[in-house]
Amino acid sequence: MFRSIFTNSFGILISRIFGFIRDLLTASILGANIYSDMFFVAFKLPNLFRRIFAEGAFTQSFLPTFTSSKHKSYFALSIFVRFFLVLAFFSLLVTFFDTFFTKLIAYGFDEKLIKEAAPLVAINFYYLLLIFCVTFLSTLLQYKNHFATTAFSTALLNISLIFALLYSKGLPPKIIVFYMSYGVVAGGFLQLFTHIIAIKKFGLDKIFIYGWEAIKRDKGDKSELQKFYKLFFHGVLGNSTAQISAFIDTFLATFLYSGSISYLYYANRIFQLPLALFAIATSVAIFPKITRYLKKDDKFNANLIIKKSFWFLAYLLSFSTVGGILLSKEIIWLLFQRGAFSANDTAQSSVVLSMYMLGLLPYGLTKIFSLWLYSLHKQKIAAKIATISLGANIILSLALIVPLKAAGLALAGSLSGFILFFLTIKEFGVKNFLGIIADKKMVYLIIAIILEIVALLYFKEFIDVYI
């Protein structure tokens, strides 16, 4: 288990290192202004759909159904073809009506800005189609317990954007964001290419050959497809809370002062690092195992994996939360304050980062406990939980945006994360959860956090002299 987690974590770490280089260049070349806001808005829509539609709901609905399927080739190819055609049509729709879709996600922009951002939205949206293909292939690789290709190939998007930024450096900002948008699409093609190679290496390309023959002869079980769609559409909402919260942040931030979208973006990028490095890497690694155990009704071993994962994440995410809050200003200063990114941008972004970090622990732990629900095909229950959490996020965002501006939006997302966690634990079983945390490791964790706070306060006092 921990070998798979390490593989995912190391791959994500490599990707995030390139991601921070990308963000460093973006902050230095574009800064936090209307042009960076335009690009982040354009990239937000495909990213939202990618995380909800492709990576989250699709994988967590497809893998359990594929594992139990008696006609795997027929099932897999049928799902792939239908999703591909729908997404291709949707991408063309966004291309022809780019102004309309841009207005939906950036309603606070004036007509001139919407017109300028619309082509960027259309270009970036094609990344969704490519990343769906990547997600489909990566899910097949997960079934074979192969995680390295997916983990390491995520860096290709960031490398592509780095080249786009370096190549366009010195050009007008309006031109640079176009280079970046084409870089996003190029990164998607590179990710797809690496997965095609891995699929062929593991002999999974036969699924497409046998699946096509099975579809032509209609040799498959259509009830499996219906079961998947039912789980998927519930899973879309069940996986959407954090992503839609970030999308709402961007939408509402268009009504705030220039740079607010960028402050949210840069802070959220840092927040996403420990979430991806630890929580997402762990959930991806253990999901196939939990699915197989629960399919055999072996709840003991499934619960054992959950318990080990909980303590692994509890320590890492707690340390990350404390460090992220206490050193928020120092982190932003170190990573971004150069070139067009000013000291005021650092101050604004650091407050937003602190608010985001409050939600790291609940969002991270929810990742592993929700796997229990998905493995038992309880996507409908997960969807209800997410709906309540999302509703709370919207109310809190509207309440906090006036007094706290961009920081209020980040805080609203974190508070809704706690609601999501508590409701997920209630469904998992409060008694089971208490059985996990009733351990001497909890005492060690509290002591370790206190020691970390003391050490970081001394370090902060020393480093602030140089900032």
pLDDT in tens, 274-325: 998 899 889 888 988 898 888 788 989 999 999 999 999 999 999 999 999 9
Check whether residue 334 and residue 389 sit in a common domain: yes
Distance CA 403, CA 260 (A): 14
Predicted local distance difference test score (pLDDT) of residue 417: 92
Q: What is the pLDDT of residues 39-67, one digit of tens each?
A: 877 787 677 666 665 556 787 788 888 88
d(CA 48, CA 54): 10
CA-CA-CA-CA dihedral for 239, 243, 248, 249, to nearest 10: 140
User: Residue 401 and residue 411: Cα distance in Å, rounded?
Assistant: 10
Residues 405-417, buried b or exposed e (16+ Cβ, 10 A)? bbbbbbbbbbbbb
Which whole number is the average pLDDT over 93-103?
87
Domain final residue, candidates 197, 218, 236 = 236
- Find how far residue 86's CA is from the centre of its chain: 22
The percentage of residues in the chain with a pLDDT greater than 70, rounded to a whole number, is 93
Residue that is last in its domain, among 236, 268, 294: 236
Is 302 within 8 Å of 294 (Cβ atoms)?
yes
pLDDT given for residue 57 in this prediction: 72
Q: Do 301 and 157 sit in the same domain of this protein?
A: no
Residue 105 has pLDDT above 90, yes or no: no
In angstroms, the CA 121 to CA 101 distance is 8
Q: For residue 441, name the pLDDT band (cuts at 50, 70, 90).
A: very high
Q: Do 232 and 310 lie in a common domain?
A: no
Give the model's pLDDT for residue 424. 95
* Separation CA 187–CA 210 (nearest Å): 30
Torsion of CA 427, 52, 374, 385, to 10 degrees: 10
Nearest CA to 303 among 171, 436, 195?
Answer: 436
Q: 21 and 111 share a domain?
A: yes
Q: How far is Cα 394 from Cα 245, in angstroms, rounded to an integer?
A: 8
Q: Which of 175, 208, 236 is the last residue of a domain?
A: 236
Cβ atoms of residues 452 and 325 within 8 Å: no
For residue 464, what pLDDT band results from cuts at 50, 70 and 90?
A: low
Indicate if 244 and 231 belong to the same structural domain: no
Looking from the CA of 303 toward its CB, the CA atoms found within 13 Å total 13
Flag whether pLDDT at 32 surpasses 90: no
Q: Same structural domain for residues 8 and 101?
A: yes
Token pair in block for residue 93: 């729709």
- Predicted confidence at residue 467, as pLDDT, reads 59
Same domain, 213 and 347: no
Domain interval for residue 157: 1-236
Residues 207 and 262 occupy one common structural domain: no
Give residue 66's pLDDT.
Answer: 85
pTM of the model: 0.75
Q: How far apart are CA 279 and CA 273, in angstroms?
A: 10
429 and 456: one domain? yes
The residue written with tokens 């366009």 in the block is 168
Tell whether 29 and 116 lie within a shared domain.
yes
Give the mean model confidence (pLDDT) for residues 130-138: 91
Domains: count for the chain: 2
Q: Is 429 left (phi over 0), alpha (psi -120 to 50) or beta?
A: left
Which of the given ranges, 55-64, 119-128, 248-257, 424-433, has the highest pLDDT on average? 424-433
Could you give the count of Cα atoms lying within 13 Å of 320 in the half-sphere of its Cβ? 25
User: 143 and 205 share a domain?
Assistant: yes
Query: Between vectors from CA 436 to CA 367 and to CA 410, what angle results, nearest 5°?
Result: 35
Q: d(Cα 3, Cα 85) in Å, to the nearest integer? A: 37
14 and 26 fall within a common domain: yes
CA distances from 425 to 308, 366, 387, 420 (A): 16, 8, 16, 9
